[in-house]
Amino acid sequence: MTEKLVIIGNGMAPGRMLEHLLEKAPGHYQVTIFNAEPRVNYDRIMLSPVLSGEKDYEQIIIHGDGWYIKHGITLYKGHRIVAIDRDARTVTSDHGVTESYDKLVIATGSVPFIIPVPGNTLPGVITYRDLDDVQAMLLAAQSREKAVVIGGGLLGLEAAAGLAGRGMDVTVLHVMPTLMDRQLDPAAGYLLQKELEGRGIKIVCKANTKAIVGSGKVEGIELDDGRIIPATLVVMAVGIRPSVGLAKEAGLAVNRGIVVDHGMQTSDGSILALGECAEVAGQVYGLVAPLYEMARVAASHLAGDRSAGFVHSDTPTKLKVTGIELFSLGDFADGDDREEIVLRDASAGVYKRLVLKENRIIGTVLYGETSDGAWFNDLKKKAVDIAEMRETLIFGQAYQGGAPLDPMAAVAALPDDAEICGCNGVCKGRIVSTITDKGLTSLDDVRAHTKASASCGSCTGLVEQLMTLTLGESYNPAAVQPMCGCTDLGHDDVRRLIKAKKLKTIPAVMQELEWKTSCGCAKCRPALNYYLVCDWPDEYADDYQSRFINERVHANIQKDGTYSVVPRMWGGVTNAGELRAIADVVDKFEIPLVKVTGGQRIDLLGIEKEDLPAVWADLGKAGFVSGQAYAKGLRTVKTCVGSDWCRFGTQDSTGLGIKIEKFMWGSWTPAKLKLAVSGCPRNCAEATCKDIGVICVDSGFEIHFAGAAGLDIKGTEVLGLVRTEGEAMEHIVALTQMYREQARYLERIYKWAKRIGLEEIRRQIIGDADKRKAYYDRFVFSQKFAQVDPWSERVSGKDKHEFKPMATVGYNQAAE
């Protein structure tokens, strides 16, 4: 007989409970859900990447509308339950909808704590709990003014990083002496503060808020020491409280949370509770791993299995801010009955601390390098006696038993019951057996079948290593992962099918390759635009709608909303006339900062958007074209003065650099492209860390490639030695065209070269003259359609200050 199951709340915990229940007891319940939010179930853990711009809402949806329809679930969106009638076994929403139940699950979550200070209701004061809060912050961030985040815990720091990434001037106020004091010890908190301050975020610890000040809206924060911190936005992220009001009114047992037993049963035999609103064994939880364990237990009980019970386990803490690696677990407080092992590497910004009691790990704090977190977690969970590995323990799993293991061997050495995904409680053995039993070949498949890395994603690297161990060379992460959520195809398949099917427009690609969305997204549209421009340079019309603001105005947007203009200086060479023209522009438009860039050009910063057309018009009169400091294309060719002036110079490096830049200018590439030509092995132009570099020697020109000097630091590889400038030009152009045709969108040359193989590149460019000439000729052909004057015509339409884009500019907002 079908029973009626009503669920109040549609967060991650009840969503996971339903997944388990549909597996254990399909068709047993007629399910109705009331969700106070006007939307489907989404991954709240990933709200921070949405705020920072790394993801959008569609990418964090867990169960779309189709999922509810497929399973016959009735979902009331935007319906807040206002009453539970336990005698009649009904619930009623604020829209007047009443539903009866046989079983009721309360998953009302939590509410953010609002500091009880004057001004806390002023417009501009918000909390950080759901998508509505994120949308409010995104709207406020458009002003690029000042934001204050109250709270230096996980949510507060993620909010601060996201707002700073959106261009706001951010200050974090934290009442304790160090950040994340509940999750990190003071040493790690210090390193975290140093990193965030290095990103431009101001941190004020020991800060006690006295009042939020403003007349009709937020204008600042007053601290109890009298300081006033200006702000147009205040984000409160000082903690949460279980949402228990509804349960309390219904007469259920309530303490801090809704009191439940180890089977998630409330004081009413027909009602269960789970998630942040539930209190089990005197504890309430806010991290997702224990909430998912509650979901598993509740589903088992609803399916008739009363043996399942909730068991507390410590959950690792991780911060979802790109580029910051931290991990904490367990008890790391000081005490006379414990000892510690500490490793510090100041130059690398690494700090590791293990807290031991009776030769067993009871607490772990890792900052800067966290790859051993899963191993330390496993040792702690199993209470392993570490006496025999005491001397090498802090160095991690790879250093146990003698010589260091490589990372892959270390993962292989993990036991089958080692936890890989802390959010979902998935162990190594389950991942490996599922891959093998179900023939899984992609990360998305593993996520779908095991949930490993499906929540915060921090264990993705471990999961991929397990896939590589299990599948061997047949697993290629970049090749099998879809471009985005709009398609199941990877970049390589899309490129191949565009050529094979002769697809020459974005709509044609989406129709023929069965795109899941009508118009694509911010990830796939720029990629498709690049692939089509590359493959059909004489037939494809560059898609204006797939460009970003930097490309449309040929300037880089800055954190304060102004723009930076970089005129091109061929090979870094200029003259008095050009300098006078730049000086005149600076004076005329009162440009606040003029700076020489690392690419031997002059950057004009602080230009208002409405002045850009006039600035470019004046620069254009002097013969300047855009330096394309925003481009996924050729940016600079850095040179030294070479043999004409330098007593060490062996060749005319300046002349060659200018020839290369003028020949290749306007060439779109998968990612930004920087070149350099040094006149001798002293390498003053730093050619050995560029995408392509030339070292001039007595016998000719040594061509280098696949260097990097940004987030990754890598010296170049030697392509080969050629005798003449003409040969150097042919090899460089051919190499660039090979990269353009084979690389994935946003894949830098050094990453492409590693994937393709250095010897294969040398074989085609150095060893095969016919193939090299064919690459060169295709580049020349494409250039006929690439070099378009970037400011000759304005776009008619909504924004009169935006220009028609070049077919050559980049595909991302990233500045030089």
Residues placed in the known binding site for [4Fe-4S] cluster: 640, 646, 680, 684
Cα distance between residue 608 and residue 631, in whole Å: 20
For residue 177, with 0-12 CB atoms within 10 Å meaning exposed, 13-18 middle and 19 or more buried, which class applies? exposed
Report the chain's terminal Cα–Cα distance, integer Å.
Answer: 65
Q: Which two tokens stand for residue 670?
A: 């998968």
Instruction: Mark out the alpha helices in 127-204 (DSSP H runs).
Output: 131-141, 154-165, 186-198
Q: Which two tokens stand for residue 18?
A: 């339903």
Cβ neighbours around 134 below 10 Å, total: 20
The edge-to-edge listing of strands for the beta sheet with 98-100 is: 81-85, 90-93, 98-100
Cα distance between residue 312 and residue 626, in whole Å: 60
The single residue listed with the structure tokens 């946003």 is 746
Cα distances from 688 to residues 179, 248, 284, 693, in angstroms, run: 40, 68, 55, 6
**Residue 787 · residue 808 · CB < 8 Å:** yes
The single residue listed with the structure tokens 């730049």 is 582
Cα distance between residue 767 and residue 493, in whole Å: 28
Q: Which residues pair with 605 in a beta bridge?
A: 564, 593
Q: Which two tokens stand for residue 170?
A: 């951010």
Cα distances from 464 to residues 411, 452, 469, in angstroms, run: 11, 10, 9
3-state secondary structure 244-273: CHHHHHCCCCECCCEEECCCCECCCCCEEE
393's CB contacts (< 8 A; 6+ apart) are: 341, 354, 386, 400
3-state secondary structure 531-593: HHHHHCCCCCCCCHHHCCHHHHHCCEECCCCCEEECECCHHHCCCHHHHHHHHHHHHHCCCCE
Binding-site members are: 640, 646, 680, 684
Helices 758-765 & 769-783 angle (0-180, nearest 10): 80
Cα distance between residue 244 and residue 240, in whole Å: 12
**Residue 331 · residue 362 · CB < 8 Å:** yes
Cα distance between residue 329 and residue 645, in whole Å: 61
Instruction: Mark out the alpha helices in 665-794 (DSSP H runs).
Output: 725-742, 749-756, 758-765, 769-783
The edge-to-edge listing of strands for the beta sheet with 326-330 is: 326-330, 360-367, 350-357, 339-345
Going by their DSSP bridges, the two strands 271-273 and 350-357 should be labelled as unpaired
How long, in residues, is the chain?
Answer: 816
Binding-site members for siroheme are: 684
Cα distance between residue 258 and residue 247, in whole Å: 7
328's CB contacts (< 8 A; 6+ apart) are: 183, 184, 188, 316, 317, 363, 364, 365, 366
The single residue listed with the structure tokens 């399973």 is 71
Buried-state track 604-637, b at ≥16 Cβ within 10 A, e below 16 = bbbbebebbbebbebbbeeebbbbbbbbbbbbbb
The single residue listed with the structure tokens 């510690």 is 340
Helix, strand, or coil here: 390? coil
